[in-house]
Amino acid sequence: MNLTSPLPLNTPKTPLPTFSSNGSHKPTPLHGSHHPLPLHHHHKLSISCSATTNHVLEKKQQIGFTENGVNRIESLSQVSGVLGCQWGDEGKGKLVDVLANHFDIVARCQGGANAGHTIYNSEGKKFALHLVPSGILNEDTMCVIGNGVVVNLPGLFKEIDGLEANGVSCKGRILISDRAHLLFDLHQEVDGLREEELAKSFIGTTKRGIGPCYSSKVIRNGIRVGDLRHMDTFPQKLDILLQDAASRFSRFNYTPNLLKEEVERYKRYAERLEPFITDTVHFLNEAITEKRKILVEGGQATMLDIDFGTYPFVTSSSPSAGGICTGLGIAPRVVGDLIGVVKAYTTRVGSGPFPTEMLGKSGDLLRSAGQEFGTTTGRPRRCGWLDIVALKFCCQINGFSSLNLTKLDVLSDLPEIHLGASYKLADGTPINSFPADLSTLEQIKVDYEVMPGWQTDISSIRKYSDLPKAACRYIARIEELVGVPVNYIGIGPGRDALIYK
């Protein structure tokens, strides 16, 4: 994939603008012109001198071997996790899907249907998942939706039906915590009303009801999955939720008829959901005792964490490492390797600060090349250069053992790549970490390191040593600045488009 590929044939190539040391756009274009190699030249890059050696290496890489014979996947700890390092949409689902074949259980620990993970099966068929863990395509993997997740049942059943219709069996393979909170249509309506009320200060939520559902949980009038087993008290609990919404928002139309309809609907849902409901805390801890391998799949990412993200422009859960224990009921001491997933550039959706954002045509080109549109909402994502300060901050919070650098192929068309290496204020004062204060973030100037691009299609490469030297230097510089090794490199959406380093 490259930056020119999505453009119409008659559209002239527009070079991405250079940046001054303080992050502002320079008026002059990049020097020189870009002439991509012909397609047949691209393919030559991945051809090995020995076809036999190359075939053996490719087979090894399919199960996680590096060129040096290290099996990255098999060396992962019994309980490992995949978490986002930016503002979400980094490609966590693909890595989870690849790793799931080597784990017994894949568990979601937080978030809800606002987390969209796009994965592809072995035939290249695309699946967009929202609540079901990304391990579902591996038929021997059990999928757990933990207590920290908020569950919208109509959406969940629609997702399961879609998977089943496409030949993916879900029967007996999905367990839902009896402690997980139910997300109702009323939460989604309240989400939209709240955003309208905020007007120009809106958060930019997916309007999937995530925040209002977590609010119900925290103020202790939420309804949990286990409550569906007690339909004698369910109507009273739902009535409290509906009345609370009506008292807060005048445009929320609550009638006795609405309550009756909802109760009848959830009686049907309760019957269908019963086989899925489990004490997942007990299930997971028993699995740990039995030495079964568990992979935790995080939704969203650390820069959207309710505590550590760009508050208030964040999600309503803890998508950082701490959310694993609280969202699944497992002890911190059992959690081992955590892999941070980070794009080779940066994106975010919704409102909020974004220090390395590229505006205008440059951002549009990157968005088009990377197909940066939300899996859940279809919203166009804001795009920018890789922010090392934010990435280092995320690595410190989570203690990542390694990184998965995704979408490196999207940068293949660039003559130059800018790396947001450090922050400073307008007066030149250096900022050593990612600030909590929004007013400080608004004053941030980014110091960029300019690195040469490789201007070569890398999507067919499967060996790290075959990557262009400029691409290897870019990866090495990220490792040097952040202090965490990049062990996985994504160079396309397919399962096999992954280099183990």
* Catalytic center residues: 89, 117, 217
Query: Minimal CA–CA distance to 284: which of 94, 132, 103, 84?
Result: 103
On whether the CB atoms of residues 500 and 61 are closer than 8 A, the answer is yes
Residues forming the annotated binding site for IMP? 89-92, 114-117, 206, 220, 300, 315, 379
SS3 (DSSP) at 181: strand
Pairing state between β 79-84 and 338-343: parallel
Instruction: Read off the DSSP letter of residue 25.
Output: B
Residues forming the annotated binding site for substrate? 375-381
Residues forming the annotated binding site? 88-94, 114-118, 206, 220, 300, 315, 375-381, 407-409, 490-492
Query: Minimal CA–CA distance to 145: which of 277, 319, 269?
Result: 277
Residue with tokens 């993200």: 309
Decide: residue 497, CB within 10 A, 0-12 exposed, 13-18 middle, 19+ buried. buried
On whether the CB atoms of residues 430 and 422 are closer than 8 A, the answer is yes
Pairing state between β 150-151 and 181-182: parallel
H helices within 291-445, ranges in order? Answer: 322-328, 361-370, 388-398, 438-443
d(CA 3, CA 383): 13
Amino acid identity of 241? L
Query: Minimal CA–CA distance to 328: which of 189, 132, 148?
Result: 148
CB atoms within 10 A of CB 357: 18
String of DSSP letters for 64-105: TB-TTS-BTTTTS-SEEEEEESSSS-SSHHHHHHHHHTT-SE
Question: Mind spelling out the 3-state secondary structure of 211-252?
Answer: HHHHHHHHCCCCCEHHHHHCCCCHHHHHHHHHHHHHHHCCCC
- Please give the backbone phi and psi of residue 277, each rounded to the nearest 5 degrees, phi first: -75, 130
CA atoms within 13 A on the CB side of 302: 26
Question: What are the structure tokens assigned to 152, written together?
Answer: 């919208």
d(CA 359, CA 371): 16
Residues forming the annotated binding site for GTP? 88-94, 116-118, 381, 407-409, 490-492
CA atoms within 13 A on the CB side of 428: 0
On whether the CB atoms of residues 354 and 348 are closer than 8 A, the answer is yes
Strand positions, DSSP E, 109-246: 117-120, 126-129, 142-145, 150-151, 174-177, 181-182
